[in-house]
Structure 1
Amino acid sequence: MQNDTQDRATAATADAATTALTTGSGSVLCEDGLRRPPWAARDPLLREYYDTEWGMPVHDEAGLYERLVLEGFQSGLSWVTILRKRPAFREAFAGFSPDAVAAFGTEDVERLMADQRIVRNGRKIDAAISNARAVVELRSDGGLAQLIWSYRPEATPEPQVMEEVPTQSPESVALAKELKRRGFRFVGPVTVFALMEAIGVVDTHLMDSHRRGTSGIWVADSAG
């Protein structure tokens, strides 16, 4: 489940003005005394997601598959739109069970295309189903978690402002290429980097954010 780097980086600070103080594209000092990036300060749902989930390690297959699918559906949309539809996505895609989705057929595609609660994009729906099949196939060669986490870099970014948060990396380029080789779709370097951010493979929290280093993966890089 990606963060949407472009959405975060371009978020108008006016959206947060009623509840926070901010300077440029640096962190926002929110009314609860905690600092967050602008994108996480302007909407209650984004704030909850940022505070409780984004950047925390995910290793279970279904959890990784869910986030991979949602990052794909987010392409071209805002992340908050996907978060609002997330419960419906979970229901429509059988709780993001790779085995269940891998068995989806024509009737399921028609059902999904008629479901107004989700993003009705035929190419993305087809990709979600084919990606479930790729996840199942990958089990015989270490599994999805092993593959994704094997691309963890030796160091993580240390951004002070949003402009310093990268949108891709050499590792995301390489992982995207490998995922495509394995049959995955809608997994470009930017989408894959957003996935890596969302599940803790990299830590792109701003250095003075209250969440910096909380994943336990990059503790040494947390702000003092």
Structure 2
Amino acid sequence: MIGEKIQISDEDRCEWCHGDELYREYHDKEWGVPCRDDDTLFEFLILEGAQAGLSWITVLRKREHYRKVFDNFDARKIAKYDDSKVEELLQDPGIIRNKLKVNSAIRNAKAFLKIQKKHGSFSEYIWSFVNGKTIHNHFSSLKDVPASTEISDQMSKALKKEGFNFVGSTICYAFMQATGMVNDHVFSCHKSSQH
């Protein structure tokens, strides 16, 4: 029937998102979709750093609140945060209250703005690591998906050199997956060949 919604079962998705509606929606609509918008790329970079040592679902559940208290991830505003703003954020139970991670968001905002100035856009710069094109992997299961690659190693080193932190190779690879620089939807997933 025209307009009928097709039901997709968890068996037709990557196994990491099974059993949670927020995770499923993120998997189906965002994860692995090529993103070239600077503001969205910056948001993902900050959230991936916030996730270090935690599960992604923890961050995903807090994302809307992050957007509210971090000025919708406006790098220009975040770059100007002072000590009192940091203290205010550290009192907020709606975010991950880690001083290093909060300070990292400010530091990364400043580095992000420098990259934009130097390269015209952050998107141009970050996508250059994959020559502007999504790398399509064809893994058969989650256990085959790497935690990092040679490219994420290079990206991590380059970002650190530019002044970023909380950008280790594993964080960079998760960022690449989230923003569609790599398509790591497993072979059996309904999203594996849609990009």
Letter in 1 for 2:161: R
Alignment counterpart, residue 74 of structure 2, candidates 63, 75, 97:
97
CA drift of 1:32 comes to: 3.7
Cα distance in structure 1, aligned partners of 2:151 and 2:64 = 31
For normalisation by structure 2, the TM-score amounts to 0.91
SS at match of 2:185: coil
Cα deviation digits, residues 65-102 of structure 1 (max 9, x gap): 10000000111111111111001100111000000101
1:59 Cα offset (Å): 1.0
Cα deviation, residue 147, structure 1: 1.6
Q: Is the 8 A contact 2:111 2:163 kept in 1?
A: yes
Task: Indicate the residue corresponding to 1:27 in structure 2.
Answer: none
- Counterpart of 2:192 in structure 1 is 212
The count of residues paired between Structure 1 and Structure 2 equals 186
More helix by share: 2
How far apart are 1:144 and its partner, in Å?
1.6
**Equivalence for 1:179:** 159
Q: Could you say which residue in structure 2 is the equivalent of 1:141? A: 118
Tell me whether 1:115 sits opposite 2:104 in the alignment.
Answer: no
Which of the residues 19, 23, 27 maps onto 1:50? 27
Cα distance in 2 for residues equivalent to 1:174 and 1:60: 22
| Contact 2:135–2:183, Cα closer than 8 Å, also in 1 | no
Structure 1 unaligned regions, length at least 5: 1-29, 216-224
Question: Where do 5+ consecutive residues of structure 2 fail to align?
Answer: 1-6
Among residues 44, 55, 60, which one is paired with 1:78 in the alignment?
55
**How big is the shift at 1:129?**
0.5
Structure 1 contact 34–210 (Cα < 8 Å) conserved:
no
User: Taking structure 1 as the reference length, what is the TM-score of the superposition?
Assistant: 0.79
- 1:214: how far off? 2.0
Q: Indicate the RMSD between aligned Cα atoms, in angstroms.
A: 1.6
Residue equivalent to 2:181: 201
Relative to structure 1, the CA distance from residue 43 to residue 128 in structure 2 (aligned partners, 3 Å threshold; closer, same or farther) is: same
Read off the aligned partner of 1:146 and give its amino acid letter. E
Deviation at 1:43, TM superposition (A): 0.8
2:130 equivalent in structure 1 = 152
The code of the aligned residue for 2:102 comes to I
Say if 1:162 and 1:206, in contact at 8 Å, map to a contact too: yes
**RCO higher in 1 or 2 (8 Å CA, sep ≥ 6)?**
2
SS of residue in 2 equivalent to 1:213: coil
Cα deviation, 1:134-172, whole Å, max 9, x if unaligned, reads 111112221321121011168532100111111111110
CA distance in 2, matches of 1:159, 1:33: 17
Corresponding residue to 2:44 among 48, 67, 74: 67
2:3 aligns to what? none
Is residue 99–residue 132 contact of structure 1 (8 Å, CA) maintained in 2?
yes
